[in-house]
Amino acid sequence: MPDTIENLASPVEKFSKLRLLCVGDMMLDTFVYGKASRLSPEAPVPVLLKQREISMPGGAGNVVANLRSLSCHTAFAGVVGQDANGDYLRDCMARQGADCSMLLSLPGYPTSVKTRYVTGSQHMLRVDCEEKLCLPEAELQQLLSRIEASLPDTDMVLLSDYGKGLFDERFTPAIIAMSRQAGVPVIVDPKTTDYTIYRGATLVKPNRKEFEGVTGQSFDPKAPDFAETAVAAGRAVCRRYGVENLLVTLSEHGMLYIPGNEQEKYTWIPTEAQEVYDVSGAGDTSLAALGASMATGVSMKHAMKIANVAAGIVVGKFGTACVTCEELKRKLEHKDHADVLTADEAASLIAELRSQGKTIGFTNGCFDILHPGHLSSFERARDLCDVLFVGLNSDDSVRRLKGPTRPVNNQAARSAMVAALKAVNYVVIFEEDTALPLITKLKPDIIAKEGYPLERWPEGQLVVSYGGQAVELPRVEGFSTTSIVEKINQ
């Protein structure tokens, strides 16, 4: 099937009918955000003034979050501790709509937690609290029995191995064998370099470092013979360990599919990432999108492209993030101004982002001629939140507010310019004279704008009224659209 613009996005429409099972190492991802403006007097280290903290499912939990964000019916099988963090993870996944009936709580085992300390967009430190899992035989058999019972209603099994002890020589081969017996494909995101436990898997998906570890060779994607050398080494791995196919992710160099069948041609596609903010969880997003795409029955090349685009979207976000069906479809369809949404699209996306623990920021204006004052406001507003939505007055709204000679640039041009800025995540055009109706619909956590004290700022008052935060940004003096237009007309 040719990869036309139309059919590239068509599998995404089928995701809501899929039933996927993710088995893996669950952990809690915590992000502590703050400002670091001085060194400690006790040691030559920065002092982080904590401003906020958010937590969300990580590891295999992020695969589940991405599957649910992509509208797949999703079940999860794994182990957490019988502790507060384990309870929190179970609740998070249940709120996302995942089936957690195969999630075991193990007494005496601490739930894995990764805590990242962040200032601006810079990670300062990561602290891991974890213990290697050794699942007792009774619980092991209980988990395997539940997984086996779920397979008749499963389209694809994803094994998310983070090397925390779940995927040992007892557990992993049993899952793969029972999945094959049920006719359900298995994709593995590996951690170990000994693929013996993955024997029988439909596809194993190592990154470049992991691929070099299992092959015992080094590879340079820029070398002229890279593909041929890597494919030969990959097929040797398939023969040695009895896995059917490999998919090697190569960061900025894309993805390389290596079929174990030597009669089938390899596929190498370039990366889709444009601007990298954070690679946290990009592999999880890629696994989720790949598994869902393959489950729809599309070609491997087609599934790779979808997974590649999904990973490209998520590395443009900060923290452990997910990609939504709407985002993915827009990118796959190559729609102009992919970050310009309707109010309904924005409200739906915000609901999904909130389920991931994201803080939603908002600012608004006409933004007729962009100048340094606008850029400063966008950047300062973005520092206050995880995702920044910008409300943009429509052309008719600008004319009512500014007069018949405005706007200088129409709303298509203005929205494209604002959406292209690094600090802005999404733009929403509104027809009203004020952003109050849009804010009522979106309910952002934070609204930020320059030059408006709260007593003269109805939009800020509205956000405060439902428990949000209104932040008056400092004005950059000497810049205004009106003065720029007057100077042009002189």
Active site residues: 284
3-state secondary structure of 42: coil
3-state secondary structure of 239: helix
Of 454, 398, 469, 382, nearest in space to 430 by CA: 398
**One-letter identity of residue 19:** R
Q: Which residue has the tokens 């790779």?
A: 304
Which H or E element spans position 117?
strand 112-119
Please check whether residue 267 is in contact with residue 301, taking contact to mean a CB–CB distance below 8 angstroms.
yes
H-assigned helices in 183-281: 208-215, 226-241
> Which residues lie below 8 Å from residue 48, measured CB to CB, with a gap of 6+?
32, 34, 35, 36, 117, 119, 124
Query: What per-residue string of b and e applies to 270-279 under the rule 16 or more CB within 10 Å gives b?
Result: ebbbeeeebe
Q: Whole-angstrom distance between the N-terminal and C-terminal Cα of the chain?
A: 59
Ramachandran angles phi, psi of 354, nearest 5°: -65, -35
Compute the distance between CA of residue 255 and CA of residue 208 in angstroms, rounded to an integer.
9
Residue 478 neighbours by CB under 8 Å, 6+ apart: none
Q: How far apart are CA 65 and CA 291, in angstroms?
A: 14
The pair phi, psi for residue 416, each rounded to 5°, is: -65, -40
Q: For the CA atoms of 359, 365, 371, 375, what is the dihedral angle to 10 degrees?
A: 0
Q: Which of 7, 6, 31, 9 lies closest to 310, judged by CA?
A: 9
Distance, C-alpha 410 to centroid of its chain: 32
Q: How far apart are CA 414 and CA 419, in angstroms?
A: 9
Nearest alpha carbon to residue 386 among 365, 415, 357 = 357
**C-alpha dihedral, 47 to 53 to 57 to 59, nearest 10°:** -10
C-alpha separations of 370 from 242, 253, 367, 395 in Å: 58, 34, 6, 16
Residue bearing tokens 């962009």: 370
SS3 content of the chain, % helix, strand, coil (to 5): 40, 25, 35
